[in-house]
Structure 1
Amino acid sequence: MNPVTTNDWARSLAKQASPSPADWLAKLRQQADEQLDNLPLPRRKLEAWRYSRVDALLKQQFLPVVRAPDCSSLRPPDSSSPCALVFVDGWFSKTLSRIDGLPEGVTLRSVHQALNDADEQLRLHLGKIANSGENLFTALNTAMINDGLFLHIPAGVHLAEPIEVFYLNSAADQALLAQPRNLLVLDDKAEATVIEHFLGGDGRGYFHNNLTEIRLHDNASLSHYRIQDESSSAWHLSNLYLQQGEKSHYHGITLSFGGKWARTDYRTDFSGPEADCELRGLYVVGDDQLSDFHLDIHHNQPACNSREQFKGLLYGKGRAVFDGRILVDQIAQLTDAQLTNDNLMLTRNAEVDTKPQLEIYADDVKCSHGTTVGQLDPQQIFYLRSRGIEETAATHMLCQGYAQEIIEHIHLDSLREQALKRLQDTLEKLPE
C-alpha cells in the first residue's frame, strides 16, 4: 500500500458498514461518515498523536465485521457473575452469554437488539456524549455502529452483583476490524459495577476499535474495571467518554498487559457540581509493545474532585506513552485535582514519554501533577538478597509491590487476585 496521505483508509472501511435499522442512527452514521473526509490523519504533527505513531496501523488491510460471526467453536469464558456478556469480533453472542437476576426496570442487552426494539434510552443518549468529529477512529466507530453493550439502570436501583463483559476474537485467518460501541446510563442514585475483559488468541492480528459512552446522572455511582490482554499481534484502541452529574462518582481502573499497539483515551466532563472521578491504571510493556494512555479531564463545574494515578512497568524494548491533561475552567472554583504518573524501567532499552499537564483558569483550587521515571533501587535488591532471597525473586517482589498500589484499589477480591496472577505470570517470563 502506498503511504497514507488521505483518509481513504477509513473511508474504504466505512463503506462496508451494514444498513442501519433506525433512521436516527442512519443520520448519526452519515454525519460521522462525512467527517471522515475532513478529519486530519493522526500524524506526529498533531499534539495528541505526537508520540503514538500509527503509520503501520494505517497500512494494514482490515476486514470489517458487519454481521455476527459463527461462535460454535468458542467456549464461554470463566465467570461467576450472574450477568456475563460475550462479544465476538464486536458482536454480541447470545449462546456464549447469560443475563440472570437483574432487578425490574434494568436494561442490559446488545446495542443491536436495543436498536431493533426501538429503545428510547438508546436513542436519547447514543452519540450524545462522544464527539465523533474529534479524531479519525472515533468517527470510524460512529460511522459503522452495529453492536455493543447497552446498560440502563433506572433511578435508585443498586446492582448487587457485577456485570462482566468479554470481548473475544474469532481467530479468523483474515485480519479483522472489530468496533463495539457501548453505552452505559445510570439514572439518579443508581449504582453498578462493570468489568470488561479484552482477550485475544496469540499471534492473531486484528484491530479492536472500542468506543464507550458513560452518562452518570446525579448521585449515581459506577465502578468500572477494564483488563486489556489482547493478542501480541493486535492493535487496540479504547475511547471512553464520561459525563458526570451532580455528586456522582466514577471509580475506574484499567490494567494493560497485551497488544502490539494499545492506546486508551479518557475524556471526562462534569455536568453538575461536587462530582468525584477516580482514574487509575497500570501498564506492563515489553518487547515489541507500545502502551499509550491519554487523559483529558475537564473541570467545568465547581467543587468537583478528580484523582488520576497511573503506573508503568517497562522491560525489554517496551515503549509507553502517558499524556494527562487537567483543564480547570474559571467557573470551576473549589476544584481538587491530583495527577501522577510513575514509571519503573527494568531495562535500559525501555522507553517512556510522559507529559502530565495542568491548565488552570480558576483561583480557588487545589491541583497538582507530577511524574517519575526510575529503576529499581540496588540497595533494596541487596537488602533482600542479604536475607537469602535470590535476585530474580527479589526483583519480582519489588515489581509486584510497586504495581500493587494500583491493583489494591480493585474492590472485588476475585478480580484483584486475577490481576495479581496475571502480573506474576508476566514477571516470571522476564529474561534474567
Structure 2
Amino acid sequence: MSEALKPVEHYRALIAAAGPSLPGAGQPWLDARRQAAAARFAEQGFPTRKTEEWRYSSIGQVLEQPFRYRDEAFEALTDSDIEDLLLVEQPAARLVFTNGRLVPHLSTTDGLDSAVSLISLRAAIEQGSEFVDQWLGKAIIDSDLETFEALNTALLNDGMCLHIPAGVSIEQPIEVLYLSVGLDEPNVMTPRNLIVLDRGASARLVEQYASTTDAAYFNNGLTEILLGEDAELEHDRLQDEAAQAYHMSVIHLAQAARSRYRGMVASLGGTWARTEYHTAFSAEEAGCELAGFYFAGDGQLTDIHLDVRHPVPRCNSEQKFKGILAGRGKAVLDGRIRVVQDAQQTEAHLSNDTLLLSRNAEVDTKPQLEIFADDVKCSHGTTVGQLDPMQLFYLRARGIQADTARKMLCLGFADEVLESCTVPAFIERVDQKLQHRLADVHIDTTTSG
C-alpha cells in the first residue's frame, strides 16, 4: 500500500464505494448503523502496540496489504468440490459461503424443525426481517464498537442468521463453512453471524474457515450469540485458512440465567490470526466453557484474546487453552476474568499451556484476574515448556523411533483439550492437520531431550 494511501483512508474509500450495493441500502435503520460504524472506524483508526489489548500483536502486515472489497460469491462449485472439507456427515442443516456470500445450491436446511429460522443474513435483510433490526448489536458488551467490529458493521453484508424458538432442541449439528476460493487479488470479507436461542432451546454448531486459494485475503468476522434462560449451545470453530490469509474473528456472547455455552476453537492456519471471545452473564447460575488449541509455525502469528465478565452472582466460567509452536512461530494469549463486588459465589478459572518445539518460537501469555468479590473460587495458570524427556524415553524404550515419539506426544498434548468437543470428525480433522504440519517441521532435540 503506497504511503499516499494510508490504511484508514483506504478502508474509508472501500466503505464509501461499497455502500450503495450493500444489502438493505436505503433502509433508514440499517443506513444509520452502517454510517455510525463508519464514523466510529474513522474516529478510532487501527490499534497500535500502545493499545493494551494489542501490545503483543502487531497488525502492520495486515495494513500493508492492498485489500479490495469484491462482493461476489464463487458459485462454480459442486457438492463433490467441498466434500473433503465437510465435518458433519448428516447435519441438521448446512450453510456454505464462498468469499463471504452464501451459495444456495451447496446449502440445505431440510433437517431443521419448521419453527427454526436459519437463513443468510443478506436474505434476512433483503426480506425486511425485523429479527435483524431487533437483535443486531445486542450481544456486544460495550456500546462503542472496536476498530475491526466497526469495519465489519460498516460493510455489513452476509453471514448466518439463526433463531431457535423456546423449547426447541436440535439434535444433529448445524454446519457452517466459510470458504475462500478463486481469488485473483487481495480481498477483504466481513462475515457477520447472528445467533439467538430463546428460553430452553439447544443446538450444536460447527463452524469452519478454509480456503483453496493462494491469494492473500482478510476475513474480518463478527459473531453475536444471545442465549435465553436455560438455553444451551455447543459451538466448535476450526480456522484452517491458507498460508497467505489474515483472519480476525470476534465472538460476543450474552447469557441469561442458567444458560450454558461450550465453545471450542482450533486455530491452525493463516499467516496472522486473532480470535476474541467477549462473554458476559446477565443473570445467575449461567455457565461458559471456552477451550482451544492453536498451532503456529514459521511466519505465523496466532492470537487468542479472552474477556470474561462476571457482573452477577453464582455463575461459572472455565477457559482452557493449549498451543504448540514450531520454527519461528509466535502466539499470544491474553485472558482476563472480571468479577465485580456483587458477583459473590463466582467460580472462574483460566489456564494456558504452550509446548515449544523450537528455541526460536515465542509465546506471550498474559492471564489476568480482576476480583472485587470475596466469596469466589478463581484461578489462573500458565506453563511454557518442551516435550517431557521421560515420556520420550518411555516411548523409545518400546521401540518407537524418536521422531515418531515426539509427534505422538504432540498429538496427545493437543487431544487433552480437544476432547471436550462432542463432534468426533472435528477432533479427527484437527489431528490430521496437526500431523501434516508436524511432518513439515523440525523439532529441536535440544528442547525435547
Give your verdict on TM over 0.5: yes
TM superposition shift of 1:111: 0.4
User: Identity across aligned pairs (percent)?
Assistant: 46
Q: What is the 5 A alignment of 1:147-296?
A: 147-201=158-212, 203-296=214-307
* 8 A Cα contact 1:10 1:136, kept in partner: no
Match of 1:128 in 2: 138
User: Which residue of the partner structure matches residue 313 of structure 1?
Assistant: 324
Cα–Cα, structure 1 residues 228 and 8, in superposed 2: closer, same or farther, change >3 Å?
same
Which of 70, 76, 83 matches 1:72? 76
Alignment CA distance shift 1:132-1:60 (3 Å):
farther
Contact 1:407–1:416 (Cα < 8 Å) also in 2: yes
Q: Return the match for 1:423 from 395, 420, 434.
A: 434
TM-score, normalisation: structure 2: 0.93
Task: Judge conservation of contact 2:7–2:63 (CA < 8 Å) in 1.
Answer: no
Partner of 1:59: 64
Shift of 1:350: 0.4
Q: What one-letter code is carried by the residue in structure 1 that aligns with 2:12?
A: R
Cα distance, 1:385–1:3 mapped onto 2, change above 3 Å = farther
Q: Within 5 Å, which residues of 2 pair with 1:75-90?
A: 75-77=81-83, 78=86, 79-80=88-89, 81-90=91-100
> Structure 2 counterpart of 1:128, which letter?
K
Report the counterpart of residue 314 of structure 2 in structure 1: 303
**C-alpha distance in structure 2 between counterparts of 1:376 and 1:170, whole Å:** 37
Shift of 1:6: 6.8
- By how many angstroms is 1:415 displaced? 2.4
* Cα distance in 2 for residues equivalent to 1:170 and 1:14: 23
Q: Which residue of 2 aligns with 1:36?
A: 41
Whole-Å Cα distance in 2 between the matches of residues 5 and 44 of structure 1? Answer: 18
Letter in 2 for 1:287: D
1:131-174 residue CA offsets vs partner (Å, 9 max, x unmatched): 57332111000011011100000000000110000001122111
- Could you give the per-residue CA deviations for residues 284-334 of structure 1, whole angstroms, max 9, x where no partner exists? 110100000000001111100000001110111100000000011111111
Larger mean CA deviation between 92-101 and 299-308 belongs to 92-101
The DSSP-based 3-state class of the residue aligned with 2:365 is strand
Give 3-state SS (helix, strand or coil) of 2:17's partner: coil
Q: Is the CA contact (8 Å cut-off) linking 2:37 and 2:145 kept in structure 1?
A: no
Deviation string, structure 1 residues 318-377 (Cα, Å, up to 9, x no partner): 000000000111111111000001100011010001000000111111000011101112
Q: In structure 1, how many angstroms separate the alpha carbons of the residues matched to 2:166 and 2:77?
A: 40
1:92 is matched with which residue: 99, 102, 124? 102
Contact 2:168 2:200 in 1 (8 A): yes
Q: Closer, same or farther in 2 for the Cα pair 1:291/1:6, shift >3 Å? A: closer
1:275, distance to aligned residue in structure 2 (A): 0.4
Are the counterparts in 2 of residues 183 and 214 from structure 1 also a CA contact under 8 Å?
yes
Amino acid at match of 2:94: A
2:438 aligned counterpart, secondary structure? helix
Residue 379 of structure 1, CA deviation: 2.2
CA distance in 1, matches of 2:297, 2:325: 6
Distance 1:226 1:19 in 2: 27
Q: Which amino acid aligns with 1:119?
A: S
Give the conservation status (yes or no) of the 8 Å contact 2:186–2:217: yes
Displacement of 1:97 in angstroms is 1.2
1:117 equivalent in alignment to 2:121: no
Please give the per-residue CA displacement for 1:164-201, whole angstroms capped at 9, x wherever unaligned: 00001122111111111100000000000000010012
- Contact kept in structure 1, 2:309 and 2:339, CA below 8 Å: yes
1:15 partner SS: helix
Q: Which residue number corresponds to residue 446 of structure 2?
A: none
1:266 Cα offset (Å): 0.5
Whole-angstrom distance in 1 between the partners of 2:207 and 2:45: 31
Normalised TM-score (structure 1):
0.96
Secondary structure of the corresponding residue to residue 43 of structure 2: coil
Residue 397 of structure 1, aligned match among 401, 408, 413: 408
Q: What does residue 447 of structure 2 align with?
A: none
Residues of 1 paired with 2:311 and 2:236: CA distance? 25
- 1:16 corresponding residue in structure 2: 17
Query: What is the CA RMSD across the aligned residues, in angstroms?
Result: 1.6
3-state SS in 2 of match to 1:401: helix
Aligned equivalents of 1:3, 1:375: Cα separation in 2: 46
Say if 1:42 and 1:135, in contact at 8 Å, map to a contact too. no
Contact kept, 8 Å, 1:138 with 1:211, in 2: the verdict is yes
Supply the distance in 2 between the matched residues of 1:3 and 1:246 (Cα, whole angstroms): 52
Runs of 4+ off more than 3 Å: 3-6, 76-79, 131-134
Alignment correspondent of 1:354: 365
What is aligned with 2:356?
A: 345
| CA separation of 1:188 and 1:82: change in aligned 2, threshold 3 A | closer
CA contact (8 A) 1:132 1:139 kept: no
Secondary structure of the residue that 2:350 maps to in structure 1? strand
SS at the partner of 1:272? coil
1:235 counterpart SS class: strand
The structure-2 alpha-carbon separation of the partners of 1:163 and 1:73, relative to structure 1 and needing over 3 Å to count, comes to: closer
1:34-63 deviation per Cα after TM superposition (whole angstroms, max 9, x unaligned): 112211421000011111101121121111
Matched AA of 1:270: F
Contact 1:356 1:369 in 2 (8 A): yes
Question: Which residue does 2:8 correspond to in 1?
Answer: 7
Structure 1 residue runs without a partner (length 5+): none
The secondary structure found in structure 2 opposite 1:95 is helix
Give the Cα separation in 2 of the matches to 1:153 and 1:310.
29
